[in-house]
Amino acid sequence: MDRKDRQILRELQRDGRLSNADLAERVNLSPSPCLRRVRNLERAGVIDRYVAIVNREAAGYPVTALVQVTLARHEREVVEAFEARVRETPQILSCRLLTGSSDYLLEVVMPGIDSYEAFMRDTLHTTPGIATINTSFVYGSIKETVELP
């Protein structure tokens, strides 16, 4: 990747709906070479996909919880069962493997606190192999971006 590819990525991260003509103008290329570069970035897997970023509150999910999970045991079956449960649960937006005292960090969205209680009772508490769960509720955001530097 060269400087021009990085310019293309910066512009597409800011507005993934740019037409090729507008993108080419912003990065000072003619449309044909610009499109060729975008297609190369897609083929190389640098551009993974195009998505819409939805406002959580406007979509009815104003509550965000960060949930640290520690497993009681780390046998393959326990880990696979937990990770399968995570993948099938739409309220879990992300699940990160961690070093340190917790094994996983979940980002969970809910319409309200009562929904979170039901999520805990029906989803996490019924998942075998969990030793501890620690929840922090997000009450503000200083920075939130999907743009890579």
Question: What is the phi/psi pair of residue 135, to 5°?
Answer: -115, 135
131 and 89 together in one domain: yes
- Report yes or no on 146 lying in a domain: no
- Report yes or no on 149 lying in a domain: no
What is the predicted pLDDT for the residue at 130? 97
Query: pLDDT tens digits for 36-78?
Result: 999 999 999 999 999 999 999 999 999 999 999 999 999 999 9
Segment 86-92 mean pLDDT: 97
Residue 107 confidence class, pLDDT cut points 50, 70, 90: very high
Q: Domain tally for the chain? A: 2
28 and 67 together in one domain: no
What is the predicted pLDDT for the residue at 98? 97
What is the predicted pLDDT for the residue at 74? 94
82 and 34 together in one domain: no
39 and 67 together in one domain: no
37 and 69 together in one domain: no
Residue 19 confidence class, pLDDT cut points 50, 70, 90: very high
24 and 68 together in one domain: no
The CATH number of whichever domain residue 128 belongs to comes to 3.30.70.920
HEC readout, the chain: CCHHHHHHHHHHHHCCCCCHHHHHHHCCCCHHHHHHHHHHHHHCCCCCCCCCCCCCCCCCCCEEEEEEEEECCCCHHHHHHHHHHHHCCCCEEEEEECCCCCCEEEEEEECCHHHHHHHHHHHHCCCCCEEEEEEEECCCCCCCCCCCC
Query: pLDDT tens digits for 108-143?
Result: 999 999 999 999 999 999 999 999 999 999 999 999
